[in-house]
Chains A and B, each alone.
Chain A
Amino acid sequence: MDDEAIGADQARRLRAALSAADLELGHVWMHYFRLGGGVSEMEIDAYLHHALTLPALQRDLLTQAVFELADGHQIPHLPFTVDYHIPHSPFRVLDRDEHPLGEPPADPEERDEHDPGGDEH
């Protein structure tokens, strides 16, 4: 997978996550800016719609911003660029089943099928 294909896959996942967590782009941009992001909201918008490519770090910062803001929502797995290069990267495997920021969902209805919450029933 070349860098352009990786970026496109990340963008597709991010769009799905924004939609699933009902995140507004301006809000996401501000958090991305907090984390050190360096491109404008318009460029982020263009990237998400495959009209612009972004360097790996900018994509990963955006990924982390969405990941953190989507805490408590079910969203697609959001890999960093390095995860595409190291298929067995330990944190990628960890990440697949963990909840954002490692905290259990506040609302039981939001738990996914991988969540080991069975002994409550």
Chain B
Amino acid sequence: MTSDPSVVELTTAFARLQGLLLDTQSATAAVSRLAEVARDLIPLAVGAGVTLIDADGVPASTAATDPAVEAVDRMQYELGEGPCLSAWDTVSLQRVEDTLTEVRWPEWAAAAAATGVRSVLSAPLVHREQEIGAVKVYAAEPDAFTEHEEHLLVLLATAAATLLGAAQSPQSVHRLSTELKSALADRQQVQAAVGILMERHDLDADAAHTRLLVAARQQGVPLLGIAARVVGRADDPRL
């Protein structure tokens, strides 16, 4: 996957996203971290925000990386118009190229422009065909975002929705974080085994990973079992 820079960026962001759910005890804290991940994923963004909505479509928890973003967000709900509301209505990414010339949401666009926001991307968070919110990034320049940023934001939104979907109550956050903790531990075990095989056989990461897969299939053992064997017994003659 190293050949596609957007996947590398996403994988990094995604690793942080996993971390955020391990560390946070509430959905509010989780969306706050998600907003930071979104802003850092898209370097042109000066700010980012995340809103989770409840089953009735009412914003339940919101977070933004700075007060200006929060104000621009809040105006949407006060005015009843804006890219995030449209992102929910249409279940599709919304792009504002320039708030000074935006005609779809004139009142909101004028208010946003007055705070210094010129371009916006807003992607819906959809989990199991249910909309659970939106993630948006803002830039001070017009036409700041291209298809590349759209692609990144949609990938982030999808991954985040998968993880946040079950995280709307403290109990489910706890359950999810327990599962994620064990998933991350398993993943680290596999990566450790890949590293050992890379060194042992002078392979690149993909080839070493594939070697583990083939060994698992040949020996009729789950991949995690093979990985544990490699990590625990460094001289397994079959690998």
Residues of chain A whose beta carbon lies under 8 Å from any beta carbon of chain B: 26, 29-30, 33-36, 38-43, 55-58, 60-61, 64, 67-68, 80, 82, 90-91, 94-95, 98, 101-102
B-side residues, CB < 8 A to A, are: 1, 7, 10-11, 14, 128, 154-155, 158-159, 162, 179, 183, 186-187, 190-191, 194, 206, 209-210, 213-214, 216-218, 220-224
**3 closest pairs, A vs B, by CB?**
A102-B220, A42-B158, A34-B186
A54 CB, min distance to chain B CBs, angstroms:
9
Whether the pair B217, A40 counts as a contact (CB closer than 8 A) is: no
Point out the residues of chain B lying under 8 angstroms from A55, CB to CB: 1, 206
A40–B159 touching, CB < 8 Å: yes
Return A75 CB to nearest CB of chain B, in Å: 14
B214: chain A residues at CB < 8 Å are 80, 82, 91
B183 touches A36 (CB 8 A): no
B222 to chain A, nearest CB (A): 5
A61 contact from B186, B213, B217, Cβ within 8 A: B213
Q: Are A40 and B158 in contact (CB under 8 A)?
A: yes
* Contact (A39, B1) CB under 8 Å given A30-B179, A34-B224: yes
- Please tell me if the beta carbons of A64 and B223 are within 8 angstroms of each other in the complex: yes
Pairwise interchain contact A26-B220, C-beta atoms closer than 8 A: no
Residue of B nearest to A31 (CB): B183
Q: Please pick, from A38, A40, A42, A57, the residue contacting B210 in the complex, using a CB distance under 8 A.
A: A57
**A42:B213 contact, CB within 8 angstroms:** no
A41 and B162 within 8 A (CB): yes
Which single member of B154, B162, B210 contacts A60 (CB below 8 Å)?
B210
Closest to B193 in A: A36
B3 to chain A, nearest CB (A): 8
CB neighbours (8 Å) of A26 from chain B are 128, 162
Best-buried of B128, B154, B179, B214 by chain A (most CB within 10 Å): B214
The CA of A38 and the CA of B7, in the complex, are separated in Å by 8
